[in-house]
Amino acid sequence: MAAHTHHHNPALLHHFSTEEQQRNSASFGMWIFLATEVMFFGGLFCAYLIYRHWYFGDFGAASTSINAKLGGANTAVLICSSLTVVLAIWAAQTSRRALMIGMLVLTMLFGLTFLGIKGIEYADKFHEQHVPGASFSFEHVPIPSHPDQYANPRHAEIFFALYFIMTGLHALHMIIGLGIFSWLLWAAWKGRFTPEYHTPLEIGGLYWHFVDIVWIYLFPLLYLIDRHK
């Protein structure tokens, strides 16, 4: 077939016949990888589901101690970053190099903001001694729906363990995403991406959106349990 036609694009790897095949393979590969990621978080969601079912009141008490405003703000930040990602891709498709670079920078700034807010949240939890471990303390915190009853600190500790593992893994994914986007920014700066070829941008974007989706679920599940008055 078109095996000998790499006259225009040095990015076409030798074992692919056409650019379309290469691009489709790359994005398909990313989707498959995201399937893996879903199951990776899935194990945690399974653990979460079971303990939330068992210890609903305690989870509510623990959840209420987290600053939901910060979590909500972080959700908004991530949603904005997802928008800037699609705009960056759109800019690449329409040969707007400056816009593309601007959007990539903005995406990374949003990502950093997210991690910053996350850091504030973690610091709060640390001060309140809500980090599981030897210094953990959650004494005499009433259960929201049964205010005359205190939450069981051991069960609250399970909540916080899940909270830290889930948000921590999510933050790790954000950090990896920032790494990917630094590389994309560098490549965009070098002028690697054209309307014909911007596959890395697309699959990097897929990853970023996936991380956003995980957060879309983490936010209500971790921050908004049993919050009503």
Partner 1 sequence: MSGHSTSEHAKSPLTTYFAVWGALLLGTWLTYEASLLDLGRYNAAVALIIATTKALLVTLFFMHLKGASEKLLKLVVASTIFFLILLLALSMFDYGTRSFS
Partner 2 sequence: MAGNVDALFIFLLIVTGMMTLLVFCAIVYFAARYRYRKGVPAEQIEGSIPLELTWTIIPFGVFMVIFAWGAVVYFQGRTPPRDSTEVYVVAKQWMWKLEHAEGQREINELHVPVGRDVKLIMTSQDVIHSFFVPAFRIKQDVVPGRYTVAWFRATKPGTYHLFCTQYCGTQHSGMIGSVVVMEPAQYQAWMSGGSGGPLSATGEKIFAELGCATCHRSDTQGRGPNLQGLFGRPVQLEDGRMVNADENYLRESILDPGSKIVRGFKPVMPTFQGLVSEEQLGALVAYVKSLSQSGPAGPKSAAAAPESAPGKGNQVQ
Partner 3 sequence: MATPISPNVERENYLNKHYGVGSWLLTTDHKRIALLYLLSITFFFFIGGFFALLIRLELLTPASDLVQVDTYNKLFTQHGQVMVFFFLIPSIPAVLGNFLIPLMVGAKDLAFPKINLLSWYLYIIGGVMMVHCMLTGGVDSGWTFYVPLSTSFLNTKVVEAGLAIFVAGFSSILTGLNFIVTIHRMRAPGMTWMRLPLFVWAHYATSIIQILGTPVVAITLVLVVAERSLHLGIFDPKLGGDPLLFQHLFWFYSHPAVYIMILPSMGVVTEIIACFSRKRIFGYSFVAMSSIAIAVFGFLVWAHHMFVAGISVYAALIFSLLSYAVAVPSAVKVFNWTATLYKGSIHYDAPMLYAFGFLGLFTVGGLTGLFLSALGVDMHVHDTYFVIAHFHYIMVGGALMGYLGGMHFWWPKISGKLYPEGWARLAALIVFIGFNLTFFPQFILGYLGMPRRYADYSHMPEFQILNVFSTAGATVLGVGYLLPMIYFLWSMRYGKPAPDNPWNAAGLEWQTQSPPTTFNFDEEPVVTWEAYNYDEIDKGHKEVPQVVG
Which residues contribute to the site for partner 1 (CB under 8 A)?
23, 27-28, 31-32, 34-35, 38-39, 42-43, 45-46, 49-50, 53-54, 68, 72, 75-76, 79-80, 82-83, 85-87, 90, 93-94, 195-198, 202, 205-206, 209-210, 212-213, 216-217, 219-221, 224-229
Distance between CA atoms of residues 33 and 144, nearest Å: 40
Q: Cβ 61 to partner 2, closest distance in Å?
A: 11
* Alpha carbon distances (Å) from 64 to 6, 46, 58, 138, 159: 59, 21, 10, 12, 11
Binding mask 11-40 for partner 3 (x = CB under 8 A): --xxx-x---x--xx--xx--xx-xxx-xx
Phi, psi of 8 (to 5 degrees): -95, -35
Distance between CA atoms of residues 114 and 215, nearest Å: 11
* 176 touching partner 3, by CB under 8 A: no
Q: Which does 68 bind (CB under 5 to 8 A by kind): partner 1, partner 2, partner 3, none?
A: partner 1
Contact between 92 and 188 under an 8 Å Cβ cutoff? The reply is: yes
Q: Cβ 113 to partner 3, closest distance in Å?
A: 27
Using the minimum distance from each CB to partner 3, give the nearer residue, 57 or 111.
57
* 175 touching partner 3, by CB under 8 A: no
Inter-helix orientation angle 97-127/68-93, to 10°: 160
Q: Which does 149 bind (CB under 5 to 8 A by kind): partner 3, partner 1, partner 2, none?
A: partner 2
Using the minimum distance from each CB to partner 1, give the nearer residue, 138 or 207.
207
Q: Which does 21 bind (CB under 5 to 8 A by kind): partner 3, partner 1, partner 2, none?
A: partner 3
Q: Cβ 152 to partner 2, closest distance in Å?
A: 6
Single out the residue of 211, 201, 200 nearest to residue 176, CA to CA. 211
Contact between 111 and 81 under an 8 Å Cβ cutoff? The reply is: yes
Q: Do β-strands 146-150 and 142-143 pair in parallel, antiparallel, or remain unpaired?
A: antiparallel
For residue 188, what are the contacts with CB-CB under 8 A and spacing of at least 6? 88, 92, 97, 100, 101, 104, 201
- Summarize as ranges the residues that interact with partner 3 (CB under 8 A): 1, 3, 13-15, 17, 21, 24-25, 28-29, 32-33, 35-37, 39-44, 46-47, 50-51, 54-55, 132-133, 152, 154-155, 157-158, 161-162, 165
